[in-house]
Amino acid sequence: MKQLFLFLSMISMLFIVSACNSAPSAENEVKVMRLANATPDDRSLSKALYMFEEQLEKETDGSIDVEVYTNSVIGGDRLIFEGMQLNTIQGASMSTGPIAQFADTFNVFELPFLFTNEEEAHQVLDGEVGERLLAELDNQNVVGLNYWENGFRMLSNNVREIKTVDDVKGIDIRTLENEWHMELWRELGANPTPMNYGELYIGLEQGTVDAQENPVGNVVNSHFYEVQDNLTVTNHIYNASPFMVSKPFWESLTEDEQKAVKKVADKVQQEQRKMNQQEVEDSFAFVEAKGMTVTELSEEELERFREATRPVRERFIEKYGDEWLRQIEAETD
C-alpha cells in the first residue's frame, strides 16, 4: 500500500512539472505584432508588409506573430499612427505627409521638387539626414527603422491634358491634409481640397474634385483611371514611406528580437523599392491601355513648375529655418 502511494505521488509530481514546463512564461510568450497601412492590397507597400510577416516569423522562430491589416481596414494614416503611439498597432509604413502632422520636421520631405530621381532620394534617406529625422520619432513614442518607397506623385485630372503650368489653373484638386501640398497647388493656381483617400474615388466620380495627385501605382490599384482621362508626369513630390514600430512594443522585445526586426526591415526595404519601381513601369503601360493620356513634361516646362513653386520653399524657411533643407541640398549637389 505504501509503495502504491509513493508511485501515485511520483506520477502526480510528473504531471505538475510537465504542466509547469508547457505553460508559457512571460519571457517566452509569443508577441503579437500588428502591422497596418492605408494602401491598397496590390501596391508594393502592402506586399512588403506580407513579406515582412513571413520573413520575421521565420527569423524569430515564431516568437513574434505578425498580423497584417492593409487598405485602411483598421483606419487611415492618422488612426494608424495614433495606434502605434498607444501600442494598439505595433508597426506601420506610411508616407511622410501624414507623419508630419505629428513630427513637423518631416515636412521638409513635402517640399516640391526636392529630388529629381529615386537614386538621389535614397542617398539622402539612407544617409545622415534620414537617420536624424527617424530619430525625431522617438518623441512621438515611435521608433523609425528605415524608409520604404511610395514613389513620385503625379497629377491626374478629367478636365484637360496638362502640358504647361498654365493648364493647372482653376482645377479643383484633392490633396493630402498637409499645408505644403496645399501651398504647392495654390501657387500653381489650382484649388486644393484635402479629402480622405478612402473617399477619393467617389469624389472624382461625382465631380466633387476634378483631379488628384498620387503615385501612378495608386491610379491603377484604386481604379482612378476609370474616372480620370489624363495623367501628367509632374513628379512634384517624392514620397518616402518610413517603416516604424511602436516604441513600447520595441522595448518589450529581447535584444535578439530587435536585431531580427531591424534585419528583416532592411531586407524588405530593398525588395520593396525594386517592386515599386517595376510597379511604376507596369502602371504606365496599364493606364495607357485603359485609355488615359499620359503626358511627359519637357525639361523647360518642369523648370517653370519649379520656379512657380519656389515661394513654397521660401515660406517653409520662414517657418522652420533652412537647416534641414541645406543639408539635403548638400547631399544632392
Three-class SS state of 311: helix
Residue 1 has pLDDT above 90, yes or no: no
C-alpha distances in Å from residue 282, one per residue of 43, 122, 285, 289? 12, 21, 5, 11
Label residue 197 by pLDDT band (50, 70, 90).
Answer: confident
Predicted confidence at residue 20, as pLDDT, reads 40
Q: Can you point out the beta strands (E) in 136-190?
A: 142-152, 154-157, 172-175
Which set of grid coordinates corresponds to residue 157?
A: 485630372
Predicted confidence at residue 40, as pLDDT, reads 87
Predicted confidence at residue 27, as pLDDT, reads 55
Which strands form 91-93's sheet, in the order they lie side by side?
64-69, 31-36, 91-93, 238-246, 142-152
Predicted confidence at residue 11, as pLDDT, reads 37
Which set of grid coordinates corresponds to residue 318?
A: 520662414
Averaged pLDDT for residues 325-331 = 92
Residue 329 has pLDDT above 50, yes or no: yes
Half-sphere exposure (Cβ direction) of 111: Cα atoms closer than 13 Å? 27
Mean of all residue pLDDT scores within the chain:
91
Which set of grid coordinates corresponds to residue 72?
A: 485602411
Averaged pLDDT for residues 261-268 = 98
Averaged pLDDT for residues 83-100 = 96
* Other beta carbons within 10 Å of 273: 19
**pLDDT tens digit sequence for 139-172:** 999 999 999 999 999 999 999 999 999 999 999 9
- Nearest 10 degrees: Cα torsion 218, 219, 223, 226: 170
Residue 212 burial class via C-beta count within 10 angstroms: exposed 0-12, middle 13-18, buried 19 and up: buried
% of residues, the chain, pLDDT over 90: 86
Three-class SS state of 115: coil
- Spatial CA neighbour of 108 closest among 118, 119, 97: 97
Q: Are 7 and 13 in contact (CB under 8 A)?
A: no
* Other beta carbons within 10 Å of 307: 11
Residue 308 φ/ψ region, left for φ over 0, alpha for ψ in the -120 to 50 degree band, beta for the rest: alpha
Predicted confidence at residue 333, as pLDDT, reads 77
Q: How far apart are CA 216 and CA 273, in angstroms?
A: 15
Residue 211 has pLDDT above 60, yes or no: yes
Which set of grid coordinates corresponds to residue 75?
A: 483606419
Q: How far apart are CA 151 and CA 121, in angstroms?
A: 10
Predicted confidence at residue 7, as pLDDT, reads 35
Q: How far apart are CA 203 and CA 196, in angstroms?
A: 10
Q: Are 211 and 172 in contact (CB under 8 A)?
A: yes
Averaged pLDDT for residues 176-192 = 94
**pLDDT tens digit sequence for 18-62:** 344 333 444 578 999 999 999 989 999 999 999 999 999 999 999
**pLDDT tens digit sequence for 268-327:** 999 999 999 999 999 999 999 999 999 999 999 999 999 999 999 999 999 999 999 999
Cell 532620394: give the residue. Answer: 121
* Other beta carbons within 10 Å of 195: 19
Greatest C-alpha distance within the chain: 102
Query: Could you give the residue ranges of the DSSP H alpha helices within 152-298?
Result: 179-187, 200-206, 216-221, 247-252, 255-289
* Other beta carbons within 10 Å of 168: 23
